[in-house]
Amino acid sequence: MIVSRRYRVTSRKGGFSAGVLVALMVGAGCGGAVAQSTDRLIAITDAVIFDGTGKEPYRGNVIVRDGRIENVGQNIPVPAGAKVIRAEGRAVLPGFFDVHTHWSPGGQPGTLPQIATAYITSGVTTVNDFHQAPEAFEPRRDWLKQIKGPHVNFVARMSTPGGHGADWADRNTTKWVATAQSARREVQALQPYRPDHIKAFADGWRYGNLPEETSMNLETLGALVDEAHKQGQRVLSHTVTVDRGKLAAQAGVDVIAHSLQDRPVDDETVALMRKAGTFYAPTLAIYEPTPGGDRIVPDLTEPVSRQRYRKWDYARQNLRVLYQAGVPIAVGTDAGIGGAKHGTSTLREMELMVDAGLPPAAALIAGTANSAKALGVIADRGTIEAGKRADLVVVTGAPWQNIGDVRNIHQVVIDGELVIDPRVKLPKANSETALAAVPAVQLIDDFERTDDRSALNTLRLADMDGGVERSTVVTNRVPRATGGSALSIAVQMSLKESPEGGVLIPLSRGSVRPVDARPYAGVRLEFRGEGPYQVVINTLKGEWTAELEGRPDWTEVRVPFSAFKPTPTRRSETQEWRGNDLVEVGVLVRRTAGATAWAEVDNLGFY
């Protein structure tokens, strides 16, 4: 999550309703039943069941055993020993899905446990996370095991050189492909990380607000999809124009994960999507001109405002047309980007679908069974049927009549365990904002490994500056006269005002877990170069830099922590050095546009 230096932005707190937190805490204090471990046998009785199959809602019971729905229907007996949840006429629905989220540090909320909590308090039990570097999949999967949260699918990012989504972080975070051959290679290269799905940033149109970026051609996208399918993964595409919607359908993309909004969708595109079985997840929640449904009267004499409303009208109209034509609709939001909040945006998306003309029951099916089908997990979840995973939501009201009732979350069951309930207390790990720091070790990297990994077994990041125009960084291991090897860094500065380049070494896998370097005095390295450089430390709260003068001969350099200052060009959450939340250490170089620079580094560590 830290690899994007440019996007290391403040993670604001309080992204979800403080009221919910208070309710949970007050509930916890009542001394009621505490379900910390899996509830093995649950009976939800006297519920109105919306099972997601298209059947009319009916009154009945749901029996859950060992995480699965054992039985559901009218007049189903309650087994002895079951923990009974009396729904008292409330609605029970399959847990909601969000096929398009970004667990980004700049989102609302911005930290993993708080995001997880925001989803489950909104009844969202399965999400796709489009934001992580593959190196972070495993440590984040481990972290999620410690907390109550939704099922999180880790979706690997692929774009084109100069494409949307490739404009921040390094090439390990977002793969760049421009040919069928490179698309296949990179899908294969992702496999050791066990991605759940692939996101293809296939469309470079920037909504008419910014210059267009590159797009993925049909051959590349087709090969990417074919290779992903061979590996058992679905492909969701960032597609926002009608023409590229057509191309996505032709390429066999499984889910178009945004709205087509540059013009009305035409019959040919509709036919292609129908033929290909493309799902459509319009992410209206991110495009809504007045977020949250605020009744702000737009100034339509303003061109930007006029254009925004025109796209919004197309997005709504195209959803209606595609739905009426029988294209399956799924729910995604782009939450974590812009102002779209985690959890509540998913509920808002279903309201916006109804506002755009879908019947409420169709919006609910989009958020449950259809999204499960889109991700290929309908045999496992997405409906309330015997044998399915027990991911369930109990709400007050009848959301198939009044979609806004999805907000009246009363209880949430995930894998057969009651996780949201007035009597249930979430584990402490759900209220932490970071993993506990581990002690820093002295040696970060002696550059002896031949696989681009540090002595800490973390993957070195060639840190290129953000934006479409990017500096090029090439690193090599080079022999040292004294024996062993050092890292050689060569940078070709991009053609922009303040380019930069360098390398960053994560202190833990995927930069997820912080390290505590307080027993040490600073950063030590052996260095040679020419001109000014900077040593950089990324922490959970921001970026810190210290000046480093390059000399042509090898020099041992010790930079005390006191010499590090918050990088002025970056937003930082705090000006206070803590020393116990370090995630990356590296070397940066800044030169004029188009200039080249070099440096050699060895034996980087703490002293």
Residues that bind Zn ion (CB under 5 A): 334
State the Cα–Cα distance between residues 268 and 318, nearest whole angstrom.
13
Strand partners, 82: none
Which residues, 6 or more positions from 409, have their beta carbon under 8 angstroms from its beta carbon? 121, 122, 123, 393, 394, 395, 420
| Minimum distance of Zn ion from residue 280's CB (angstroms) | 15
| Residue corresponding to tokens 């036919």 | 271
Which one, 334 or 602, has the nearer CB to Zn ion?
334
State the Cα–Cα distance between residues 425 and 31, nearest whole angstrom.
10
Strand partners, 146: none
Which one, 245 or 550, has the nearer CB to Zn ion?
245
Which one, 107 or 328, has the nearer CB to Zn ion?
107
Which one, 334 or 417, has the nearer CB to Zn ion?
334
DSSP 64-86: EETTEEEEEETTPPPPTTPEEEE
Q: How far is CA 296 from the centre of its chain?
A: 30
| Minimum distance of Zn ion from residue 258's CB (angstroms) | 7
Which one, 203 or 334, has the nearer CB to Zn ion?
334
605 neighbors 501 (Cβ within 8 angstroms): no
Which one, 196 or 334, has the nearer CB to Zn ion?
334
| Minimum distance of Zn ion from residue 285's CB (angstroms) | 11
DSSP 180-191: HHHHHHHHHHHG
Give me the phi and psi of 518, to 5 degrees please: -65, -25
Which one, 77 or 289, has the nearer CB to Zn ion?
289
As a whole number of Å, the CA-based R_g of the chain is 25
| Minimum distance of Zn ion from residue 378's CB (angstroms) | 23
62 neighbors 49 (Cβ within 8 angstroms): yes
| Minimum distance of Zn ion from residue 500's CB (angstroms) | 26
| Minimum distance of Zn ion from residue 101's CB (angstroms) | 8
Q: Which residue's CB comes closest to Zn ion?
A: 334
Strand partners, 597: 491
**Amino acid letter at 497?**
E
| Minimum distance of Zn ion from residue 9's CB (angstroms) | 16
Neighbours of 57 (CB within 10 A): 19
Which one, 129 or 334, has the nearer CB to Zn ion?
334
State the Cα–Cα distance between residues 552 and 10, nearest whole angstrom.
38
Which one, 199 or 541, has the nearer CB to Zn ion?
199
| Minimum distance of Zn ion from residue 162's CB (angstroms) | 18
| Minimum distance of Zn ion from residue 311's CB (angstroms) | 16
Give me the phi and psi of 461, to 5 degrees please: -105, 125
Bridge-based pairing of strands 501-506 and 582-589 is antiparallel
State the Cα–Cα distance between residues 443 and 582, nearest whole angstrom.
14
